[in-house]
Amino acid sequence: MKVLKTQKDLQNQVYLLKAQNQSIGFVPTMGALHEGHLSLIRTARQQCDSTISSIFVNPTQFNDPKDLANYPRNEALDLDKLREANCDFVFIPDITEVYSPNEYWHFDIGKLEQIFEGTSRPGHYQGVTQIVKKFFDWITPNIAFFGQKDYQQFLIIRQLVSHFGLPVQLFCHPTIRESNGLAMSSRNARLNEHERQIAQTLSRTLFDIKAHFADKSIKDLLSEARSKLTNTPELELSYLSICDAETLEETNEKTPAKIIALVAARIGEIRLIDNIILKS
Ligand code: PAF
């Protein structure tokens, strides 16, 4: 696996791949890699001739400086994992390679920025779209791979791609879970054993909603699930909603073609999100 540190090296490499007519699969990450990321790499390898991943803890998408400072980082271990997954190239830029001082970015995300993670983490999706647009411009991947766990992020990146007419196909990979159901996340590394037990309530609640989706109303599903979550000690529920999966508008009807349940909660210092497709 070749490690690329500068934008110039990255773009030279991309130029060579394109000259050889190789399709490029891109897996952007912020490191602290887990099985979820590695399954994206493996899928990219199956679908494209070469795979480029990136490791960059993007400061512009953190609205809380403490969260940025505490974000888990382990570059040496990440590189081993990427090598083992047969990733071809990894881009690990320094911040000065990515941003010029006082750089300005605003992308009109509209409604999708005014709900759920958009309101809980003001500015987060501005930072995400800012970095993803740069990486897409530099790499011009044929397919970019994202995890379903960050479903709202996926929809916003889809909007970014459509707005700028970027020639990239997006792939939303199903969430990879630990054996206890907990959605894999880099933030799980910061949970202690007790918090990990509490965190499982999130996926259990989503699985329950899915199991009863056919026989209960959305109103009943939500009120039962919300009361279970709000009665879980040490779990601070941020939201639990059932939405049209194309727009993330909340729905009380089962008529939308694709329906998703989304949840977010804080357990101790750690904020976790998860979701499940109820109808597709
Ligand atoms: O999902 C993530 O890890 C990040 O938001 C991404 C897409 C790598 C952008 O920094």
Residue range 72-98, pLDDT digits in tens = 999 999 999 999 999 999 999 999 999
With tokens 């073609």, the residue in question is 257
DSSP 64: -
Domains of the chain by start residue, with CATH: 2-173 (3.40.50.620), 186-274 (3.30.1300.10)
pLDDT more than 70, % of the chain: 100
Q: Given this model, what pLDDT does residue 73 score?
A: 94
* Residue 68 identity: L
**Binding site membership of 128 for ligand 1 (Cβ less than 6 Å):** yes
Confidence grade of residue 104 (pLDDT, cut at 50, 70, 90) = very high
Residue 265's CB is within 10 A of a number of other CB atoms, namely 24
Which atom of ligand 1 is the closest one to the Cα of 132? 9
Residue 158 CA to residue 112 CA, distance in Å, equals 11
Q: Provide the residue type at 100 as one letter.
A: S
CB of 186 closer than 8 Å to CB of 32: yes
Cβ of 131 closer than 6 Å to ligand 1, yes or no, is: yes
State CA 203 to chain mean position distance. 16
Residue 37 annotated to the active site: yes
Q: Which of 265, 206, 272, 207 shows the shortest CA–CA distance to 232? A: 265
Give the per-residue pLDDT at 108.
Answer: 98
The pick from 95, 107, 150 for probing ligand 1's pocket by mutation, whose C-beta has the most ligand atoms within 8 angstroms, reads 150
Burial of 240 (0-12, 13-18, 19+ CB in 10 A): buried
| CA 180 to each of CA 42, 116, 143, 200, 278: distance values in angstroms, whole numbers, following the listed order | 23, 25, 31, 7, 20
* Ligand 1 contacts CB of residue 157 (under 6 A): no
Query: What is the chain's length?
Result: 280
pLDDT tens digits for 190-237? 999 999 999 999 999 999 999 999 999 999 999 999 999 999 999 999
Give 56 Cα–ligand 1 centroid separation in angstroms.
8
How far apart CA 276 and CA 172 sit, in angstroms, is 13
**Whole-number Å distance between alpha carbons of 183 and 238:** 17
Mean pLDDT of 147-164: 98
* Atom 3 of ligand 1: nearest residue by CA position: 29
Distance CA 244, CA 50 (A): 35
Alpha helices in the chain (DSSP H): 7-19, 35-47, 65-70, 75-84, 95-98, 117-120, 124-139, 151-164, 193-211, 218-230
Relative to the CA of 56, which ligand 1 atom is closest?
10
Instruction: Give, using CA atoms, the residue closest to atom 5 of ligand 1.
Output: 128
Taking the centre of ligand 1 as the mean of its atom positions, its distance from the CA of residue 254, in whole angstroms, is 31
**Cβ(29) – ligand 1 distance below 6 Å:** yes
Ligand 1 atom 7, closest CA: 28
pLDDT on residue 245: 98
How many Cβ atoms sit within 10 Å of the Cβ of residue 150?
19
Atom of ligand 1 nearest to the CA of 54: 8
CB atoms within 10 A of CB 124: 21
Catalytic residue, chosen from 37, 106, 124, 173, is 37
pTM for the complete prediction? 0.97
- Tell me, what's the pLDDT at 237? 98
Using CA of residue 258, residue 123, residue 99, residue 58, what is the dihedral sign? negative
- The answer to whether the beta carbons of residues 164 and 251 sit under 8 Å apart is no
**Residue 128 banded pLDDT, cuts 50, 70, 90:** very high
pLDDT at 130: 98
The mean pLDDT value of the chain amounts to 97
